[in-house]
Structures are given as structure tokens and as C-alpha cells.
């Protein structure tokens, strides 16, 4: 046991120390403020990343005016990965497989709806070929149109191995990630008319 020549240090909440500056609370407040700032910054970054990642978060004003020439940007990353794998396999088979249309903005999809109405002359027929922006899998980044015809036929035959399925009986070129790779593709829709309320 040791002894000390000095008196014990008074507890901050007892005796004379009661009137000492209370530094604990401001420091705690500062910590809270710092924590809030860090959390706030992280949330802002996460929100920004979310906007960048979401196809529908990109302003239509920067849209490519030629949707059929659009690269895969805006596609669901998993769909893009599956298509890249399928394209490589098609290439190994000596078959050209290209993306002719992928993600579209809502405005671009509406243009296609308007063009189809004009082309087919009746809403009933136009609705067989194009979906409204609200239900279009292209606007959601979840559909691709492929070409040329030989490539589309190759993908219909081999796509399920990559998790890619042709989903419309009247559209040779339209594929979605409708099954897990190696699974069995679901029956096709007859046409797009089911997607109109
Ligand atoms: Zn399509």
C-alpha cells in the first residue's frame, strides 16, 4: 500500500469542483453534431448514388434522341451482366448478337407509344406492340431488344442458360431476365396488350 502526500482529487460533482466549467456536455454536443454531420453526408451520398443508379432518376433532358442506338447504360446491372455473358457465348458460336435497344426514358417510351398509335391507326393494335411508360420493362431498365435476327434466334435457343427469356410471342427481339440462369423460361405473353390497364 502506498500513501500520497497530496489530498485526493475532488470529484467534479462535489465540493469546490461543482463550480468548475462543465466541459463534458459541450463536448458531448459536439460529438453529436459531428455524428449527425457524418450521417447526413453519408445519407446524401447514398441518395446521390441511388439517383445515379436508377434509370428513372436521370433527367429526360439529357436523353439520347436515338433510343435504338443507346448503349446499355441505364440497364439493370444483372441484366447487363447476363447479356454480356450471352453475347460472348454467341460470339464463340460465330453468331453476332447485339443490343438494339435497352433502357429508355419515360419520354422516349411515350414517343414510341405515340408513333405506334399513328402507325397502326388504332389503340387496340398499337397496344399489342408497345407498353405505356408506367409498365414498360424498358423504362425500368429490365428489358433488352437484340439483333440481328440470327442473334435473336440464337438467344431464344440459348438464353435460358444465361437467365434471359424472350417474353413476347410477337416480338422475336425482346428479352428479359425472367428466370434464374439455367432455369426454364416462363410462357410468353401473346403481345404487350396485357400491360394496358
Ligand atoms: Zn423490347
Express each pLDDT in 24-63 by its tens digit: 455 655 665 555 555 555 555 444 444 343 333 333 334 4
Per-residue pLDDT in tens (0 to 9) along the chain, 197 residues: 444 445 454 444 444 444 444 554 556 556 655 555 555 555 554 444 443 433 333 333 344 444 454 444 789 999 999 999 999 999 999 999 999 999 999 999 999 999 999 999 999 999 999 999 999 999 999 999 999 999 999 999 999 999 999 999 999 999 999 999 999 999 999 999 999 98
Instruction: Please tell me the distance from the alpha carbon of residue 154 to that of residue 107, in angstroms, as a whole number.
Output: 31
In a domain, 75, yes or no: yes
Q: Which residue in this structure is represented by grid cell 445515379?
A: 52
Ligand 1 centre to CA of 59 (Å) is 21
In a domain, 149, yes or no: yes
Do 79 and 146 form a contact (C-beta atoms < 8 A)? no
Do 40 and 128 belong together in one domain? no
Ligand 1 centre to CA of 106 (Å) is 14
In a domain, 2, yes or no: no
Do 117 and 180 belong together in one domain? yes
Ligand 1 centre to CA of 129 (Å) is 9
Rounding to the nearest 10 degrees, give the CA dihedral for residues 153, 104, 118, 194: 70
| pLDDT for residue 73 | 74
Residue 97: give its domain's CATH number.
Answer: 3.30.1380.10
Number of domains in the chain: 2
Ligand 1 centre to CA of 133 (Å) is 12
Do 121 and 146 belong together in one domain? yes
Ligand 1 centre to CA of 131 (Å) is 9
State the residue range of the domain holding 29: 15-53
Instruction: Specify the DSSP element, H or E, that contains 154.
Output: helix 149-158
Query: Residues whose CB is under 5 A from ligand 1 (ion)?
Result: 145, 174
Do 47 and 69 belong together in one domain? no
195: burial class by Cβ within 10 Å (0-12, 13-18, 19+)? middle
Ligand 1 centre to CA of 184 (Å) is 20
| pLDDT for residue 114 | 97
Ligand 1 centre to CA of 137 (Å) is 8
In a domain, 29, yes or no: yes
Instruction: Please tell me the distance from the alpha carbon of residue 149 to that of residue 87, in angstroms, as a whole number.
Output: 14
Amino acid at each position: 500500500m502506498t500513501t500520497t502526500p497530496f489530498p485526493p482529487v475532488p470529484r467534479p460533482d462535489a465540493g469546490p469542483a461543482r463550480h468548475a466549467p462543465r466541459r463534458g456536455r459541450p463536448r458531448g454536443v459536439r460529438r453529436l453534431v459531428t455524428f449527425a454531420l457524418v450521417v447526413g453526408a453519408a445519407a446524401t451520398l447514398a441518395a446521390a448514388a441511388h439517383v445515379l443508379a436508377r434509370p428513372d432518376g436521370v433527367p429526360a433532358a439529357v436523353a439520347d434522341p436515338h433510343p435504338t442506338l443507346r448503349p446499355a447504360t441505364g440497364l439493370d446491372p444483372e441484366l447487363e451482366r447476363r447479356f454480356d455473358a450471352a453475347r460472348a457465348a454467341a460470339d464463340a458460336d460465330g453468331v453476332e448478337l447485339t443490343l438494339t435497344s435497352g433502357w429508355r426514358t419515360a419520354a422516349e417510351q411515350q414517343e414510341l407509344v405515340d408513333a405506334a398509335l399513328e402507325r397502326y391507326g388504332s389503340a387496340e393494335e398499337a397496344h399489342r406492340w408497345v407498353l405505356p411508360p408506367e409498365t414498360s420493362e424498358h423504362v425500368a431498365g429490365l428489358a433488352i431488344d437484340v439483333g440481328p435476327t440470327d442473334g435473336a434466334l440464337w438467344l431464344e435457343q440459348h438464353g435460358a442458360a444465361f437467365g434471359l427469356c424472350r417474353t413476347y410471342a410477337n416480338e422475336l427481339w425482346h428479352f428479359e431476365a425472367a428466370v434464374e440462369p439455367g432455369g426454364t423460361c416462363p410462357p410468353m405473353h401473346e403481345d404487350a396488350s396485357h400491360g394496358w390497364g
